[in-house]
Amino acid sequence: MANIIAFSNGYLCLRGKLVESTLFIDQTTGIIVSEPHDQPEEVVDLKGRILAPAYIELQTNGCIGLHFTHFKDPLTYQSNLKNVSRYMVTKGVGGFWATVPTVSSEVFQKVLPQLRPQEFAQGATLLGAHTEGPWLNPTKKGAHDSSLMLSPTGSSAVAVYGEPNVCSSIKMVTLAPELPGSLELIRTLTRDHGIVVSLGHSAAAYECGLEALRAGARTLTHVFNAMNPLHHRSPGLAGLISSPEAPFYSLIPDGIHLHPATLAMAFRANPERCILITDSIEVAGLPDGLHPGHSQIPHAQRKEGNKVTIDGTDTLIGSCSSIDECVRNLIRWSRCTLPEAVRCVTENIAKLMKDNERGVLEQGRRADFVVLSGEGHVLQTWIKGVKAYEADWLKECDFLTTVPEASQDQVDTPGQRFD
């Protein structure tokens, strides 16, 4: 029997715009439904707040102490994954792909079976794995271990990752398209295994990138980082973002990996293809200071705010920003609207990964959504129609207070800032 909840008197983030509407969900199935003929069992008054699809994390290496290359035993790993999942919902995340950077084949084949798609009670859904390596260009290694990088001509996905993992766990692979044999590897991954291929950690020229897109690649990994810089006569992979064959592309909006002006320029180039990622590592959510290395980085890591480097060097390892912070940063630095920024962590990712279950607040999709303030702060996270997180201060008040001067002229108006 249906148990319908209506979320009314608020705004929905839909395709980069705010729409004044009511959202209906069926708690029995955890699905978004059309308006029922009968009165809903419960009506939630949003009091002018905003509903958005639950955020989707495309690239995270871990957080709160777990790097996804850390493996002791299956039971401990699964327990740590559950903790990560429950931490994710506090940042508005409803689903994530666990990124495994360049490690040995032995490590890949230990951790990848644990990263098959799975759900956790009161937590974000693990959607599978994103393997960032080992087919990367050593000259653009970033914090990866170049001694573990391989050439596509002398290896295969099945040999490196293990056949069961290629068939079940891995959903995306980042590789450098200029390496010998890369184009054939792209065709194999996309055509034979249905895996999304991203281009990154690469010194490829623009023309090489086009060839890779035509071979089946669909996206770029953290544009401007670990790739040739954009040059007016040699644009490299970064030049693809506004090309006629533009791929999706990810950016790290932490203010460290990219200057705010660079972030704004890249976002404005193609907002419907832009994706925000954290590229977070295991020290995200932990105190500042020195932290031990792991299978990818056998060196101490220094955390200072959201910046993490190999101790004693300027080499950036990853970020400690959360995805909700990334959304607010994009709004602040590009002057885009909240729904435009939300699209970069929801709908655009769902389109890239061909996920028809999440990413858009429409009938038939999962009731994974967040309640946001006008400034983009996460007030609640709902997973399959069940509230999984609520900000502490909300528990002590009358659910939601009104948005200061929430104006009708901010609704469904592209290019206007909403705060």
Residue corresponding to tokens 């740590």: 80
Q: Rounded CA gap, 221 and 281, in Å?
A: 16
- pLDDT digit string (tens) for the chain, length 419 residues: 679 999 999 999 999 999 999 999 999 999 999 999 888 999 999 999 999 999 999 999 999 999 999 999 999 999 999 999 999 999 999 999 999 999 999 999 999 999 999 999 999 999 999 999 999 999 999 889 999 999 999 899 999 999 999 999 999 999 999 999 999 999 999 999 999 999 999 999 999 999 999 999 999 999 999 999 999 999 999 999 999 999 999 999 999 999 999 999 999 999 999 999 999 988 888 889 998 876 667 788 888 888 888 888 888 787 889 999 999 999 999 999 999 999 999 999 999 999 999 999 999 999 999 999 999 999 999 999 999 999 986 665 555 433 333 333 344 433 333 22
Q: Which pairing describes strands 248-251 and 274-276: parallel, antiparallel, or unpaired? A: parallel
The stretches of 216-259 forming alpha helices (DSSP H) are none
> What is the model's pLDDT at position 305?
86
Is 320 in contact with 305 (CB distance < 8 Å)? yes
> What is the model's pLDDT at position 37?
86
**Helices 323-334 & 260-269 angle (0-180, nearest 10):** 90
Write out the catalytic residue numbers. Answer: 279
Nearest to 385 by CA among 369, 361, 364, 403: 369
